Amino acid sequence: MSVRASVVRSLSALLAGVRRPRLPLPPHGASSAGGGTKEAPAVLDAYVRTAPSPQTAVDIFAGEWASRLPPPLDSVNAGIAPLYDDGRLLWGLQELGGVAGQSVLELGPLEAGHTYMLDRAGAASILAVEASTRAFLKCLITKELVGLPSARFLCGDFVAFLDQQAETFDLCVASGVLYHMTDPAGLLERISRVAPRVYLWTHYYDADAFRDSVRTAHRVVEPESRDLSGFGYRVYRHEYGRALDSAGFCGGSAAHAYWMERDGILGALRHVGYSRIETAWEQRDHANGPAISIVATRA
């Protein structure tokens, strides 16, 4: 086969894969000629035919929202979690003496609930890195609905981001992300390179607590030993399983993660240079596994 013929063949194969399915014509545009109903171009399905509203924007991801929007938008049908008024982060910010005028790096903003809290607490700048394209777009919707003048969202993996990051921040907010990592201690080490202060909320592994709960008893597994530049700790493999079937899935980018133990997390934080560590919001009986809020700062 000539080079040209081979290129044409490859292109045809490529284009065959991107041909759009034809959808039935919606009622507003239905037309029939000669008795047959014509199909509307599928691209028109993406158009809204009502006046703009917050609900219309939220409904782009209908059924996928975790958070309830803050007042005056709390009557919009989104999620139910009060992540725009989260007592755990409020505690962290109080412990840190506030964030007014500071630069914040936020890892995994999901729907920008905490971004909203940081903005309203007076942060000078918030750079929020989100890997899920759907969550990233939900953050942009939130930004447009509530207004987040100090925030900027980046779509990408925060581990890869941290590996190429030269800039430093006054604070890193890493809430709900450590237990979604395949290398959790590696994340703590990376955070320590860019921020002298970190707020974390995370689940952790505790075999006894797991055994005590019907929801987690099946997740009691053997530990694996790891090393972080001389600091030894244990991790426990966690499979996402059926959670991966949900469009609202908000875990990590692999099909599994590794959970650390409480002491392992605190020890790793000390090992990477955080000398002052405060904890609160201990929930050993949390339905999804024991959880804790942590503020760690360098002296």
Ligand X SMILES: C[S@@+](CC[C@H](N)C(=O)[O-])C[C@H]1O[C@@H](n2cnc3c(N)ncnc32)[C@H](O)[C@@H]1O
Residues binding ligand X (CB under 6 A):
83, 108-110, 114, 129-132, 135, 157-159, 175-177, 180, 201, 250, 252-253
Contact 70, 116 (CB under 8 A): yes
**Between 131 and 296, whose beta carbon lies closer to ligand X?**
131
Measured distance CA(164)–CA(73) in Å, rounded? 37
Q: Residue 234 corresponds to which tokens in the numbers above? A: 């244990």
R_g (Cα) of the chain, nearest Å:
23
Please report where in the chains the tokens 């109080």 appear, as a residue.
94
Residue nearest to ligand X (CB): 108
Provide the minimum distance between the beta carbon of 45 and ligand X in the complex, in angstroms, as a whole number.
26
Q: Which is nearer to ligand X, 57 or 154 (CB)?
A: 154
Least distance CB 202 / ligand X (angstroms): 9
Q: Yes or no: say if 292 and 279 are a contact pair by the CB < 8 Å rule.
A: yes
Minimum distance of ligand X from residue 284's CB (angstroms): 19
Nearest approach, Cβ of residue 248 and ligand X (Å): 10
Nearer to ligand X, 25 or 165 (CB): 165
Q: How far apart are CA 58 and CA 134, in angstroms?
A: 12
In the complex, least distance from residue 50 CB atom to ligand X, rounded to whole angstroms: 29
- Long-range contacts from 96-101, C-beta under 8 angstroms, 24+ separation: 96/171, 96/197, 96/199, 96/295, 96/297, 98/122, 99/123, 99/170, 99/171
Closer of 110 and 171 to ligand X (Cβ)? 110
For residues 135 and 266, which CB has a smaller minimum distance to ligand X in the complex?
135
